[in-house]
Every structure is written in C-alpha cells, then in structure tokens.
Amino acid sequence: MTDATAAPDYAIEVNNLQKIYRASGKMPEKHALKNISLNIPRGSIFGLLGPNGAGKSTFINILAGLVNKTSGTARIWGLDIDQHPRQSRAAIGVVNQEIVADPFFTPMEMLELMAGFYGVPKSERRSLEILTAVGLDDKKDAYVRQLSGGMKRRLMVAKALVHNPPVLILDEPTAGVDVELRRSLWTYVRELHDRGTTIILTTHYLEEAEELCDSIAIVNHGEIVACEPTPKLLSRLDYKTLVITPKEALTAVPDSLAGLDSVIRDTGALAITFRTSETGIGRLLEQVRAAGVGIGDLVTEAPDLEDVFLSLTSEPEAA
C-alpha cells in the first residue's frame, strides 16, 4: 500500500483507455470503451453514471483486474496496473453488482478469509468493526444462505473493506436494499469519505448521486459525454419552471400567457417553463399579473440530475 504521506493527487488516472470485445460466433465485435481519459481526485466522491451497457462495468472490471484492456493506460493510487498489478489492485476495494458469497460460510468467516487473502495481520483485522458498521454484527455467526438479499449486499460492501483500501468502488451498492438500509449504508460511506477514502459510485438512483457526489462523469456508448463538478453539471440545462399558486382557481391558461410554455397542473398551479438566459422571473411575474392572475404563492423548480442525464444519453427520435 502506498504510504499516506506519498498519496497522489489523483486516486485514479486513466488515459485513452480502450476495450474491444472481438467478434465470436454470432456475437459481433463490440467497442465497449472508446479512448476514455479520466482523472478522479484523491479524497472525492465521484459518480460514474450511464445507461445499461454504456461501459461502466467494463471500466470498473479493468481497474479490478477482471478484464484486460485493449489499449491505453490506467493508474490506481499512482500505480500503473500493468507495471504494478498486485499493488495497484490492493489499493482498491470493489463492490460489484453481483452477489458472490459462499452460502456455507458465516460473515465473520468470510471477512477473516478475505483479510487473509490480502495479507492483513490478525492483529490489524477489523472484521467485527466492519460488520457492525454495515449492520451485520448480529448476523456474524449466521450462514450466508440465511441472510436476506439486502444483508448479502451489505456483506459485499464489508468484504471490499477488509484491507482498508484508499479507494472504494461501489457498483450499484444499494440495488435491492430497503430505504432504511440505504440510508445507513450512505452514512457509513460518508464516514469513510471523512477519513480520506476516495469513493467511486455507480447507481441508478440519480438522487443519490446528486446528493453525494462532488463530481460526476456520464458515460454513453463507451464514451464520456460529460465530466464536471456536480453543481456545474446541473447548470447545463438552461431552463427553470416558475410554479404559481393562484389566489383564485384557474380552469385554463389565460390567453395572454398562451405564447409561453405554460400549463395548469393537476394541483391547480400555473407552471411556466422558461429559459434563464432569455427571460427573468420579474418579467414573467409582470406578464402573469397583467393577465389578471392573483399570486398566492410561488416557487421555482430547477432541473435535477435526472433531467441532465436524460438530455445527454437519450437517443434522438427517428424522423
């Protein structure tokens, strides 16, 4: 493990990374990653998002040593994965989407076994501490086959932490986990981050990524289509929606407002969507008042990460 005093600026450094799956039988050649270049800062929570089949899992599996890259370079904690394969992979813990666990082991036995694989001395092992952190201390001596799906998912997180890696990759960690357990898991992830662990997250729960991640990369068809700090990414869409609760109920949008992108919602609110670069809220309010609409209350709604994600990954409609 790299000494903390020599910690690199970037936890992950990838340059022109490619992965081509050659044609086999009836399966055509697939270009899973197309010259991806990416630097993930040390100590960050970094989101890697994209549709199914976009290349996220291929990227993670290359870092984990499960898939061989076609070309390009990758460094984990300053260590080239080709020149230092063992040391670089010891610098990461990976929680994959698939649950892989021997049903005849107990959680405690599994963590002790994994710690042994990584060469962690018995005096330095934290198996019970880790199981407690992920809420499995009361199941430490139960067989894995007796655990629920959510418990098995948390056990996968625990396995990835036995060697105290400086980089933790979470690939859909909350899939199949109930809301309460999701919250407890993210609380623990934040604690790890506060201790200096770099977190790389893939998730289909975009609200999680929006809340947790410092920066986000969006991958589509094997290419990075955006990679920015989360606030900057959210500002990409140049529109907001002004939602007005009228003092008196409206049955239709007033004629003088028909030229705007406006609708009456099921709640009775008047919603006007506008481009922030072209129109100010003050001007809109003047038009609303001029239309004879009394304003009881108003709020503005900004695009969220789901809106940005869809704008960058949706396929254009055929003509």
- The residues, ordered by sequence, that sit 6+ positions from 23 with a Cβ below 8 Å of its Cβ are 29
Question: Does the pLDDT of residue 20 top 90, yes or no?
Answer: yes
What's the pLDDT tens digit per position in 171-213? 988 776 777 778 878 888 898 899 899 999 998 888 889 999 9
What's the pLDDT tens digit per position in 264-304? 999 999 999 998 888 888 989 999 999 999 999 999 888 88
pLDDT of 87: 93
pLDDT of 213: 95
What's the pLDDT tens digit per position in 75-98? 999 999 999 999 999 999 998 877
In words, the CATH class of domain 238-302 is alpha beta
Share of the chain above pLDDT 90, in %: 66
Mean pLDDT of 122-139: 92
Q: Which CATH entry fits the domain spanning 10-229: 1.10.20.60, 3.40.50.300, 3.40.50.2300, 3.30.1450.10? A: 3.40.50.300
Residue 244's SS3 state is strand
Which position has the higher pLDDT, 180 or 217? 217
Mean pLDDT of 126-136: 91
pLDDT of 318: 44
Mean pLDDT of 69-73: 97
Provide the mean pLDDT of the chain.
Answer: 90
- Dihedral sign computed on CA atoms, order 123, 128, 134, 136: positive
Give residue for tokens 């304003």: 295
Mean pLDDT of 230-249: 90
Share of the chain above pLDDT 70, in %: 96
pLDDT of 315: 64
Mean pLDDT of 50-72: 93
Residue 28's SS3 state is coil
List 243's β-bridge partners, or say none. 271, 299
> pLDDT grade, residue 166 (50/70/90)?
very high
Question: Does the pLDDT of residue 2 top 50, yes or no?
Answer: no
**Which string of b and e fits 184-208 if b means at least 16 CB within 10 Å?**
ebbebbeebbeeebbbbbbbeebeb
Mean pLDDT of 137-143: 96
Question: Does the pLDDT of residue 10 top 80, yes or no?
Answer: yes
Domain boundaries, the chain: 10-229, 238-302
> pLDDT grade, residue 316 (50/70/90)?
low
| Contact present, 143 and 89 (Cβ < 8 Å) | no
